[in-house]
Amino acid sequence: MALARLNGVAVRGIVSALPARVEDTTDLAVRFGEDAARRLATATGIHARHRVAPDQCTSDLAVPAAQALLRGLGWPADSVDLLVFVSQTHDQVLPATACLVQRRLGLPKTAAAFDLSLGCSGYVYGLWAAGSALATLLPRADCRPARALLLVGDTTTRLLDPDDRAVAPLFGDAAAATALEIDPAAAAMTIDLGTDGAGAPYLMAAGGAMRAPDQLARLFMDGTQVFAFTLREVPAAIAATLAAAGWSPADVDRFVLHQANEMMIRRLGQKIGATEDKLVLALARHGNTSSASVPLALTDAMAGMLKAGPARVLLSGFGVGWSWATAAATLGPLAVCETLVLPP
């Protein structure tokens, strides 16, 4: 495991964005039959998912989220020094989507911008990468604290075979924007990161890139292997993060785990000592939104608590890669914390 401590970086706000189109159990019943659709919803806890239109990309969700966040915070676009874009469904093979988003947001040419290609672990990895990079920047000439935007999101439904019941009922689309700012008084974040590439074949979209350019990009998932990996690796990572932070499970106000499916979250909760009242479940109307699932759970289920703040949260993302990342962080009060449904 790679343990890190991030000092002097504060989260100021989070905005999540969902596309307008919604697919629910009724739509699945047309393809799989009513009984199968009902059983799938009961087993996973997922009853609806937001889906992008055929011409929508991840940046089309992330940009409105970032614009709403900047407005809510009163941050001019030219005050942002760093943009980190985390996704596995980039707009194009190249250039980096971060470069496209920098222009669309009107960020200054002096801003650093780069992509990270990560899925379910991406939000916590992004907090570490963006926060660590932000902390190395020299003081600004105008004496304003250095600022960063962390954008995460995936349009996984564009990779789905609509008739594959292993993935079609599970995944939705979303993006989220998080504002970070240098603040010497900010509580430290303790972060644990891990990787096991041996799990790559069990959750992947092999086509459409350089190794198989003529093959259609379709998501494949072996759910049994995903579940086994999660229970094997994630509890130990969470325990290590809590220990390094000097926290016990009782010290945590909310456990915000990757929103993959309800049964998995509850099993993990039991293994890590999270009481049911502290375990966030925010997937019933959104499904598994990959890199956006953790921030979407924060804005959807914890907005009131985070605006009032401070709150001690345990954030953990895990999945495709295999890749996992956990953070013990004290968040709030946040000036902005909301979920937007974008117009069609």
- Residues noted as catalytic: 120, 258, 288
Q: CA 188, CA 166: separation in Å to the nearest integer?
A: 39
Contacts for 115 with CB less than 8 Å, ≥ 6 apart? 84, 85, 86, 87, 90, 96, 97, 98
268 close to 302: Cβ distance less than 8 angstroms: no
Do 66 and 177 form a contact (C-beta atoms < 8 A)?
A: yes
Q: Where are the beta strands (DSSP E) in 58-117?
A: 82-86, 112-116
- d(CA 134, CA 301) in angstroms, rounded, equals 28
Question: What are 220-224's contacts with CB under 8 Å, separation 24+?
Answer: 220/167, 221/166, 221/167, 223/166
Q: Give the residue from 292, 150, 166 showing the smallest Cα distance to 225.
A: 166
Angle at CA of residue 141, ends 136 and 147, nearest 5°: 45
Which distant-in-sequence residues (6+ apart) come within 8 Å of 39 by Cβ?
none
Positive or negative: CA dihedral 221, 154, 6, 102:
positive
Query: What's phi and psi for 137, nearest 5 deg?
Result: -70, 140
Q: Determine what percent of the chain falls in helix, strand and coil, rounding each to the nearest 5.
A: 40, 25, 35
